[in-house]
Structure 1
Amino acid sequence: MDGAPIDGLPYQDEAFQIRGAAFEVYRAMGAGFSEAVHQECLEGEFARRGVLFETHRPLGLTYRGKPLRQTYVADFVHCDPITVELKAARRSAKQMGRCGHRPIGRDLAGFHPRLSGHA
């Protein structure tokens, strides 16, 4: 094997761990709770599984190559290259794309953790 991810996604092992935690939260809580409830549950599940993370970390933005004072605040950052967002998928994918990240995960029905990694 040449080291390329099987399904074409970078950070496959990390994404698998994060998606597993997200599915567990979804199974236990379902959809319909606020983002803050899902975030707190996911923090606990990450800690339980030993997944390293930071919460509410600001990510730098640029406009035409110039840094902006404004930042995008990610719900979770895992080992720097992966961000996890709990917002509606289209919105978070667009915002994370502006931070130099691209989607590496998928949404869960009614619960929208979104994984991305540096492009």
Structure 2
Amino acid sequence: MRVIIIILALSFTDLCNAQFISNDDKLHLAAGALISGATYIIVHTTIKNKKKAFWYSLGASALAGLTKELIDAGQDERFDTGEIIATTTGGLAMSTTLSIFVGKNKNRKKGAKTALVN
């Protein structure tokens, strides 16, 4: 009985369009990631503070998304909050990734070899 229910549930997933993501939102996500990545690298190399670099880069991507939508609203187009969220989400993904992986080699000594133990 479980198998029949699972097969029926999976057969209707093709009809669902709730998770549709437009190409414009994908571009906003990529733009937010690009802006956030560039801002993070610039801030981190300048002041060497990971927390400030994270928040500045996230703020830069959110500000870029908001600015683009305000320009669109001024040109008689609709103000789309989904595009702001997409841009900020791209910035959040890039900021989080860089925050995790940048600056990890500080504790390793130069030339030190790691012993492999069974």
TM-score (norm 1): 0.32
Greater share of residues in helix: 2
Greater share of residues in strand: 1
